[in-house]
């Protein structure tokens, strides 16, 4: 049944507050790949083709869209493309095209340039454009399926107010968001699909087409191990067809072994290079905007570490969970990633050794320091398995590392040295921390 109360609070909050890029461990693919994947699951989409050069875009329009209006879209992994601005001054990542020379002109302005959007304020490189047949719409709707923790399974989200930012819709009018939990052991029932179509205001042929669309979307969601399948807008055409006009699809990273065909199309150029490098060593890394690098074992401890850094007046530069079974090579690589980050002014290592042995952490850090040097202040808090051996290794390694007895003490020291390093850099004092890099 349709629910718009307490079960959906978490979902509505998530819709109203867009996640930053890279904040979820999942594969995010370009729009044209999403459209191709939908076609393979019998989901209707407009005619489209991708181009990597302005000449190719012009040729595609002339041969595939002659006499028709088309839309050209910058292929970057960010929302809000239409309202974005390229760093060369060209405004908008989505434009209408009515003749071949327009396709060339727009593609030439987009390709090889970085598009700045609300979700990507630093810009994101556009290397492909997607030309899509213009769809004349009677109305626009929103539809998505996502894995939802609050309801314990897939959740279908719909709104009759599509074609615009769903986050803005959710924030301004939560009642406009319709949600429907789906029993994953039974799947989406025809009754549920019919109920959602009715709630969206569809009738007759459009209602029937929407039910088929939802069933196919759910089949794709499950068979492709999606974490989110978002369509905005779903268009109802004047002749009663229901068509997907724009789509965003995320796939569970843990399913890469059985979804190799889609994962082979991952565009690493659109991702944080630190996260790409970390993933090669099976490290759980998410880049943030602060200046204190964190290396922690366990997601819960990592979140607590980030919280206490902020309570002490600092700002974490990342979420980095080395896990319980990390080896010395993984620890060394984790330290190298933190040390190479120009935004990081100090590094805090917080390890509670249970499965993860403290001496393994110590050896990994020392090996990294020997290979690449240690130019940044390092604060270490270790507790648990083999902690005494780890402390002995650190004390005899020849590098100056700041040891802390508890997390609060460690966070305070990390925030303090990070601020000193930041101010020294700002004033161009050339301050060096005694013992580091020796």
Contact 182, 266 (CB under 8 A): no
Residues 6+ apart with CB under 8 A from 14: none
**Percentage with pLDDT > 90 across the chain:** 58
Residue with tokens 């303090």: 416
Q: Where are the beta strands (DSSP E) in 265-335?
A: 284-287, 292-296, 318-321
Q: Is residue 107 scored above 90 in pLDDT?
A: yes
Determine whether 6 is exposed, middle or buried from the number of CB atoms within 10 Å of its CB (0-12, 13-18, 19+).
exposed
- In whole angstroms, give the CA distance from residue 206 to residue 201: 10
Given the residues 58, 113, 215, 230, the one annotated as active site:
230
Q: Is residue 22 scored above 70 in pLDDT?
A: no
Q: Where are the beta strands (DSSP E) in 108-219?
A: 114-116, 124-125, 129-133, 139-148, 153-159, 178-181
The encoded tokens of residue 308 equal: 């206490």
- pLDDT tens for 229-245 read 999 999 999 999 999 99
Q: What one-character-per-residue DSSP string does 67-107 give?
A: TS-EEEEE--S-S--TT-EETTS-B-SEEEE-SHHHHHHHH
- In whole angstroms, give the CA distance from residue 92 to residue 211: 34
Given the residues 61, 130, 142, 285, the one annotated as active site:
142
- In whole angstroms, give the CA distance from residue 379 to residue 236: 58
Q: Tell me which DSSP letter residue 21 carries.
A: T
Bond preceding residue 233 cis, omega within 30 of 0: yes
Helical segments of 161-319, H only = 166-172, 190-199, 204-223, 260-263, 273-280, 299-311
pLDDT of residue 375: 78
- pLDDT tens for 305-320 read 999 999 999 999 998 8
- pLDDT tens for 174-217 read 999 999 999 999 999 999 999 999 999 999 999 999 999 999 99
Residue 331's pLDDT band (boundaries 50, 70, 90)? confident
Q: Which residues of 272-288 are buried (b: 16+ CB within 10 A; e: fewer)?
A: eebbebbbebebbbbbb
Helix, strand, coil percentages for the chain (3-state, nearest 5): 40, 25, 35
State yes or no: is 142 an active-site residue: yes
Our CA dihedral for 167, 171, 173, 178, rounded to 10 degrees, sits at: 50
State yes or no: is 281 an active-site residue: no
pLDDT of residue 346: 93
């Amino acid at each position: 049944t349709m629910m718009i109360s307490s079960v959906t609070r978490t979902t509505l909050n998530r819709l109203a507050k867009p996640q930053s890029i890279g904040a979820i461990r999942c594969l995010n693919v370009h729009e044209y790949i999403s459209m191709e994947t939908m076609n393979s699951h019998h989901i209707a989409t407009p005619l489209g083709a991708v181009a990597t050069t302005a000449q190719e875009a012009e040729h595609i329009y002339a041969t595939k869209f002659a006499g028709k209006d088309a839309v050209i879209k910058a292929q970057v992994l960010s929302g809000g493309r239409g309202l974005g601005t390229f760093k060369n001054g060209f405004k908008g990542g989505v434009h209408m095209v009515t003749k071949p020379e327009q396709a060339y002109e727009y593609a030439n302005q987009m390709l090889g340039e970085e598009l700045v959007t609300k979700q990507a304020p630093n810009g994101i490189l556009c290397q492909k454009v997607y030309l899509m047949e213009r769809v004349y719409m009677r109305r626009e709707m929103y539809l998505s399926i996502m894995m939802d923790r609050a309801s314990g399974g897939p959740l279908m989200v719909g709104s009759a107010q599509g074609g615009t930012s769903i986050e803005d819709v959710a924030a301004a009018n939560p009642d406009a968001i319709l949600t429907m939990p789906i029993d994953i052991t039974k799947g989406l029932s025809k009754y549920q699909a019919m109920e959602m179509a009715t709630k969206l205001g569809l009738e007759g042929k459009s209602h029937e087409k929407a039910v088929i669309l939802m069933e196919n979307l759910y089949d794709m969601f499950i068979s492709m191990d999606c974490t989110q399948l978002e369509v905005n807008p779903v268009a109802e055409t004047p002749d009663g067809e229901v068509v997907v006009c724009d789509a965003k699809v995320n796939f569970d990273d843990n399913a890469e072994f059985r979804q190799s065909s889609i994962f082979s199309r991952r565009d690493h150029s659109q991702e944080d290079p630190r996260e790409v490098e970390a993933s090669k060593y099976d490290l759980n890394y998410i880049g943030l905007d602060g200046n204190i690098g964190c290396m922690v074992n366990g997601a819960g401890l990592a979140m607590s570490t980030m919280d206490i850094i902020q309570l002490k007046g600092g700002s974490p530069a990342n979420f980095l969970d080395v896990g319980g079974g990390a080896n010395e090579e993984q620890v060394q690589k984790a330290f190298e990633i933190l040390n190479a980050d120009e935004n990081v002014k100090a590094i805090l290592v917080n390890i509670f050794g249970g499965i993860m042995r403290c001496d393994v952490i110590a050896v990994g850090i020392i090996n990294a320091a020997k290979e690449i040097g240690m130019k940044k202040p390092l604060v270490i808090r270790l507790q648990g398995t083999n902690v005494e051996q780890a402390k002995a290794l650190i004390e005899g390694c020849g590098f100056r590392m700041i040891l802390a007895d508890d997390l609060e003490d460690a966070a305070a020291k990390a925030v303090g040295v990070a601020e000193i390093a930041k101010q020294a850099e700002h004033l161009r004092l050339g301050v060096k921390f005694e013992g580091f890099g020796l």
